[in-house]
């Protein structure tokens, strides 16, 4: 099946893929969505991106974008009506996402899979991750969103990872002294575009009808 849309390979529960789906929704774009399973990655995806991780976006001219942040930037460069790429805070936003991707994600993985990383206890991994949560909490004491009173790429770039951290043990997360962060996460979990980003799709197979995401364009 041929498509007139850029083709996005995605996996619903992957935080990097969530980040990208949110970026596409905020950019008010549509793509062909190919939901994958990690145990059975389609050869079409591996042919354009041998690293085998999602998300991967192939543009209509054949260009392949393999990094989630680059896909979000590409999407918002097409249309950014809500100014998520706010120039006044863009440097700060990128620095915060760097810290999320390069530091927090390391501790998040070990907290989530503590039984695979026996060098420290799960509690110790959680406490290391909380260093980043404390930074976010401090930012959210001042504003409704991480960098002000409106959403920026920092929010959509980081929220999926905080969600994953919270889901390791929700009772523990909501007992921690991060009231503003908890409020911010709860607001995101109820946000219409996040709910739309988390729509379930059947895994893609060659020959399937094209699945357009989002299912209808945003007015």
Q: Is the pLDDT of residue 219 over 50?
A: no
Instruction: Look at residue 3 in the predicted model and tell me its pLDDT.
Output: 75
Cα separation of 149 and 199, whole Å?
Answer: 27
Q: What phi and psi values does residue 64 have, to the nearest 5 degrees?
A: -110, 130
The answer to whether domain 90-191 has CATH 1.20.1560.10 is no
- Top CATH class, 7-83+195-213: alpha beta
Express each pLDDT in 91-135 by its tens digit: 999 999 999 999 999 999 999 999 999 999 999 999 999 999 999
Q: Are 149 and 143 in contact (CB under 8 A)?
A: yes
Instruction: Look at residue 218 in the predicted model and tell me its pLDDT.
Output: 44
Domain ranges of the chain: 7-83+195-213, 90-191
Express each pLDDT in 153-179 by its tens digit: 999 999 999 999 999 999 999 999 999
**What mean pLDDT is predicted for residues 189-202?**
97
HEC profile for 149-214? Answer: CCCCHHHHHHHHHHHHHHHHCHHHHCCCCCHHHHHHHHHHHCCHHHHHHCCCCCCCCCCCCCCEEC
Give the count of beta carbons closer than 10 Å to the beta carbon of residue 183: 12
Q: Are 182 and 174 in contact (CB under 8 A)?
A: yes
> Over the chain, what is the mean pLDDT?
96
CA distances for 37 relative to 154, 184, 214, angstroms: 28, 30, 20
pTM: 0.95
The string of DSSP letters for 6-21 reads -EEEE-TT-HHHHHHH
Express each pLDDT in 1-57 by its tens digit: 567 999 999 999 999 999 999 999 999 999 999 999 999 999 999 999 999 999 999
Strand 7-10, strand 31-35: pairing: parallel
Which pLDDT band holds residue 215 (cuts at 50, 70, 90)?
confident
């Amino acid at each position: 099946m041929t498509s007139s849309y850029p083709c996005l390979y995605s996996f619903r529960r992957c935080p990097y893929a969530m980040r990208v789906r949110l970026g596409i929704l905020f950019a008010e774009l549509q793509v062909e969505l190919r939901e994958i399973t990690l145990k059975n990655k389609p050869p079409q995806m591996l042919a354009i991106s041998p690293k085998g991780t999602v998300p991967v976006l192939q543009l209509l001219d054949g260009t392949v974008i393999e990094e989630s942040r680059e896909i979000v930037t590409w999407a918002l460069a097409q249309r950014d009506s809500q100014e998520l790429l706010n120039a006044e805070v863009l440097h700060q936003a990128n620095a915060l996402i760097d810290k999320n991707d390069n530091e927090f994600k390391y501790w998040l993985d070990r907290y989530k899979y503590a039984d695979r990383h026996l060098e420290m206890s799960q509690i110790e991994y959680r406490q290391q991750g909380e260093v980043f949560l404390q930074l976010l909490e401090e930012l959210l004491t001042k504003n409704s969103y991480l960098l002000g009173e409106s959403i920026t790429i920092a929010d959509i770039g980081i929220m999926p990872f905080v969600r994953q951290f919270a889901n390791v043990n929700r009772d523990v997360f909501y007992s921690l002294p991060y009231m503003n962060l908890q409020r911010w996460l709860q607001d995101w979990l109820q946000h219409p575009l996040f709910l739309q980003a988390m729509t379930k799709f059947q895994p893609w197979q060659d020959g399937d009808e094209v699945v357009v995401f989002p299912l209808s364009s945003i007015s």
